[in-house]
Structures are given as C-alpha cells and as structure tokens.
Structure 1
Amino acid sequence: MPLPFLTADRPFDATTDDVALPFDDHDNWRRPYRPGPWRVAAAALLLLLASFILITAMIIAFAGALPGAAACLTAAVLAIAASLRMLRMGAWVSRHGVRRVGLLRTGTTPWDRITAVRTVQQPVRWLGLPRTVQGQALVLVLRQGEPLPLLTDHNADFLSRAEAFARAADAVEVWGDEYRTD
C-alpha cells in the first residue's frame, strides 16, 4: 500500500537539467522532504503502545466489562490518529502556497502574501521543546507581520541531518521563486 505522505515523489536534485519543480501536478500538496528518524521513531512507539492498548481492550471485552473495553478502544484509536498526524506534520508546498501542518492545527499561507523565503541563523527550539539552541530556520517573510518560521534544523525531521535541511530549504525556496508574486 503506497503511503504518499511519507516520501516526496522524487528527491530534489539541483544537478539535473530538467524543470526546477519535478512534479507533474503542481496543484497537489507535496512535502519536499522525508520525515526524519525522530518523528518516525516517535510515531512507531505510539503505534506500538496502541497495539498493546488494543490487546488490553480485547482482553477486557472477553472478560465482560464492555465500558472498560470501549474506553481502551477509544484510547487506542486516539493513539493511532495521533501517530498518523505526527507523520503528516511538516511543511507542504503547492502552487497555492505553503501549508504548515502541526499536531493539532494546520495553517496555509498563499504565495501572494509571502515576499521572501530565506534561511536565517537564529535561536530555534530543540525537538519542539521550550529549550532553544542556535541553529538555522527557513522563514517566510510576509507582506504584513513578523517572519514565520517554517522549518528548523533542530526539529524532529532534521536533527543531525544538516544536508537534508539544506535540500528541503532549497526545494521550498525554488517553489517560492516559481510561484511568489512580488
């Protein structure tokens, strides 16, 4: 079963002579990078926990306590939904703009509201925790308002993967150069 949200259609390769955006349909939302090992490991552990909760629900149901089994089943479904959402988190691009997918919230910024997409050195959150470290961030400079951080080199996708962050930032900048109106 193909899982299109786990991989990009084709990795970004600046050495090829074909089009800068190597996708046939630019209207579909694409993540220009693969989920990092930290994000995949956390989702896998959450799915493992959900399997144990499902086994517990089955045992409780066979014992005859249906309200307890229903509570365990609900907890397992929530854990599975959270792990799938965790795999979907990140930055997505299309002809329409940039979409930031979070665990609980998704926001889309159209290209016509963005004046620049650039990589800057700034304090960034380490794995999304309150602790900050000095790192790189890909920010969207908006026509009105403060710059919006899109990706950081210390999040769950790019921790200890500087080359992957550079490729992803370059890919988003190429999408921005293609569709941004100045």
Structure 2
Amino acid sequence: MPLPFLTADHRFEAAEDAALPYDDRDRWRRPYRPGPWRVGTAAVLLLLASCVLCASFVIALTGPLSDAGFALGTGLAVIAVALRLLRMGVWVSARGLRQVTFLVTRTVPWRRVVSVRTVQQPVRWLGLPRTVQGQALVLVRADRAAEDVPPLLTTHNADFLTRPGAFDRAADSVEAWAEEYRRR
C-alpha cells in the first residue's frame, strides 16, 4: 500500500535544472523525505501498537470487554501518534506554505510571505529544550514579527539531524517555492 505522505516526489531529486519539478502545483507536497529519526520513532510506535492491539484481542477473549476496549483505544491512539509524527514537516503548494507540528498546523498564503531564508542560529536538538548551534530555515511574514514565528526546518530536527546535505536541498526547494509564488 503506497503511503504518499511518507515519501517525497523522486522527480525533485532527479531534476537538477528545475527548482520546482512538480506537475500539479495545487497539491500539498513535502519537498524532502522524512528523516531516519522520525521514521524510526514511528516504526517503534507502530510495533508497540501492534503488541497492544494483540493484547486487546487476547483480553477480549479471556477478560472483561471494558479492559479490551481500553487496550484497543490505547493501540489506536498510539497509531494516531505515529501517523502524526510522519505527517510533521513543511509542505508547499501554489496556495502557500504549511508547517505541520505535532499539535498545530499553520498555513501561510504566499501573499503574506516576505521572505524565506536560511540563518545561522541556536536551534533545538530533536525538539528538546537543549540548543546547539545550527542552521534554520526561517519564514518572515508580513503580518507578524520575525521573533514570533518558529523556524520551519533546522539542521538538528528529526528530519535532518545526520543529513546536512538533505537540509540544504530542502531549504533550497522551499526557498525556490517562496521566490516563485511570492512574486505572483
């Protein structure tokens, strides 16, 4: 079963001359692949969910249904968390830029984007409170101060922690989308 939210369009990596190689630009796309930390965490959560779902089946056969229902609900909640982890990231389309975090999704139309640029700054390591020096892709909006907007991508998040080249390609791609659609 194909999981389109898990993979980036491979034509982007193959096309070096075109910055925006997508045919259907109205469809939301993530211009990079999810990183190994994000995919590994989701895989472990899905493995845990399969164990919990098997346990709920055994409980349903041998014990009270209320306990089986609780286990089933817990397994489904873990699956929902894993899918949300895989969905997190920056998505682009002709309509704007969308930043999907664990609890909140922010969509900014291109007309409100002043610039998207890469800056050197302290960034959070894997989303934890610890900060390290790294690069961040920041969004400057016309309607908000630059300090109010969290970075779109960083070199130390779950997608790019050990892949600096992938961060550069993803940042260049998002900057190219912003440059093309900001002018319209």
Q: Could you tell me the TM-score, scaled by structure 2's length?
A: 0.94
Residue of structure 1 equivalent to 2:41: 42
Distance in 2 separating the partners of 1:61 and 1:171: 50
Residue of structure 2 equivalent to 1:165: 167
The CA deviation at 1:14 is 8.7
The CA deviation at 1:2 is 1.4
Residues 82-101 of structure 1 show CA distances to partners (whole Å, capped at 9, x for unaligned) of: 10111010000000111011
1:105 aligns with 2:104: yes
Contact 2:117 2:175 in 1 (8 A): yes
Count of residue pairs brought into register by the alignment: 181
- Letter paired with 1:68: D
- Letter paired with 1:158: F
Residues 103-139 of structure 1 show CA distances to partners (whole Å, capped at 9, x for unaligned) of: 1111101111111110000111100011111110000
Contact 2:30 2:91 in 1 (8 A): yes
- Letter paired with 1:173: E
Residue of structure 1 equivalent to 2:154: 152
Between 49-58 and 144-153, report the one with greater CA deviation. 144-153
* Secondary structure at 1:87 match in 2: helix
Distance in 2 separating the partners of 1:99 and 1:46: 25
Residue of structure 1 equivalent to 2:69: 70
* Secondary structure at 1:167 match in 2: helix
* Secondary structure at 1:12 match in 2: helix
- Letter paired with 2:162: S
Contact 1:12 1:167 in 2 (8 A): no
Distance in 2 separating the partners of 1:146 and 1:32: 26
Contact 1:135 1:154 in 2 (8 A): yes
Closer, same or farther: CA 59–173 of 1 in aligned 2, 3 Å? same
Closer, same or farther: CA 163–16 of 1 in aligned 2, 3 Å? closer
1:9 aligns with 2:9: yes
Residue of structure 2 equivalent to 1:141: 140
Contact 1:115 1:141 in 2 (8 A): yes
Question: Which structure shows the higher helix fraction?
Answer: 2
Distance in 2 separating the partners of 1:73 and 1:55: 9
Q: Could you tell me the TM-score, scaled by structure 1's length?
A: 0.95
Distance in 1 separating the partners of 2:20 and 2:153: 19
Contact 2:15 2:21 in 1 (8 A): no
- Letter paired with 2:119: V
Distance in 2 separating the partners of 1:178 and 1:76: 43
Residues 118-161 of structure 1 show CA distances to partners (whole Å, capped at 9, x for unaligned) of: 00001111000111111100001111322231000100000011
5+ long unaligned stretches in structure 2: none
Residue of structure 2 equivalent to 1:82: 81
- Letter paired with 2:59: I
